[in-house]
Structure formats: structure tokens, C-alpha cells
Amino acid sequence: MKKLSLFALVALFAFTACNSNTEKSEGTETLTQESPAEVVAKEVSITINAGDDMKFDLAEIKVKEGQTVKITLNHTGKLAKEAMGHNWALLTQGTIVSDFAAKAMQAKDTDYIPAGATEVIVHTKLIGGGQTDTIEFVAPAKGVYEFICTFPGHSALMKGTFYVE
Ligand code: CO
């Protein structure tokens, strides 16, 4: 009888200790998930402006892997797209920007995005002054990517880094 009680006590203690451990670790996890810094929004909206000065107003964009990314490109200038066209094209990793820009330059009929170009992950339309275009896509795998405007001569200035974290 005495032995049994001791056993029961030990078992109860072990159960309690184990249970409290589990609760503690679960509690910590829940706290981490609820902490604002750790919350990953499902969607992120980014606005990029570019005018007749041939510049994007963002040099860096940071998103999270798997996030739905909404990019809005605004052409804040006055010039037509034939003279000062802008688009926003996200390039695959390893693409040599100058090589691709040279190739894109020849694709006037398709607004300087070569048909079936494997170097482009996503891109907006080519737009002129006062126009805007929005695209939505799922962020690619973690890594560092580059974005450019593929209008002839623009990528030298119109470029930036797209980080997927
Ligand atoms: Co441009």
C-alpha cells in the first residue's frame, strides 16, 4: 500500500512535470507566433514611382518567401511611353542584367519583354506618363533578385534589388 502510494506520487509528479513542460513550450511558441515582429502578412503591397527623370523611387524591395506581392508602378512623368516608357521586370537569379537589357532592347513589338523570355519572373506593362499598372504574384524562393525597367537604355539607372527573406 505504501509502495503503491509512492509510485502514484512519483507518477503524478512525472506527469505534472511533463505536462507543465509541454505547456511551457507551447506557451512560448504561441507567444512567438503572436509577437508582431514574427507575423508574416499573407500579402504585401508596394508602390514604385518613376518619372521623366528615368529613376525608380525605390532601390530595394524586401518581401517574405511565399507572400503574395502586389506591385503598383506609377509613371509620374508626362512623356509618352514611346519616349520614356517604364516597366518593372523582376529577373531570375543569375541573369546578367546588361546582356538581358541588350536582348530586351530588340523586342520593341512586345514592349521590350522578349517573347518567352526565361530571364523574367514577372513584369508590369510598359507605361507612359500618367499611367499606372499593378501586378500580383507569389514571392519566389528566398534569395536576392534584381529588377529593372527594360525600355532601351533605362536599366543602367532604373534598377534595384529585390530581397526574398
Ligand atoms: Co523606363
Question: Ligand 1 centre from 27 Cα, in Å?
Answer: 51
Residue 21 in domain? no
Q: How many domains does the chain have?
A: 1
Average pLDDT, 10 consecutive residues per value, the chain (165 residues): 45 42 41 59 97 98 97 98 98 97 97 96 98 98 98 98 98
Residue 27 in domain? no
pLDDT for 39: 77
pLDDT for 35: 53
Show the beta-strand stretches assigned E in 51-130. 60-63, 68-75, 89-91, 120-123
pLDDT for 14: 44
Report the predicted TM-score, pTM, of the whole model to 2 decimal places.
0.77
pLDDT for 38: 65
Find the Cα–Cα–Cα–Cα dihedral 82, 83, 84, 90, rounded to 10°.
Answer: 40
Question: Ligand 1 centre from 126 Cα, in Å?
Answer: 8
Residue 69 in domain? yes
What CATH number does residue 58 fall under? Answer: 2.60.40.420
Question: Ligand 1 centre from 65 Cα, in Å?
Answer: 27
pLDDT for 40: 82
Residue 31 in domain? no
Residue 149 in domain? yes
**Residue (of 54, 105, 106) closest to 75 by Cα position:** 54
Task: Print the domain residue range for 150.
Answer: 36-164
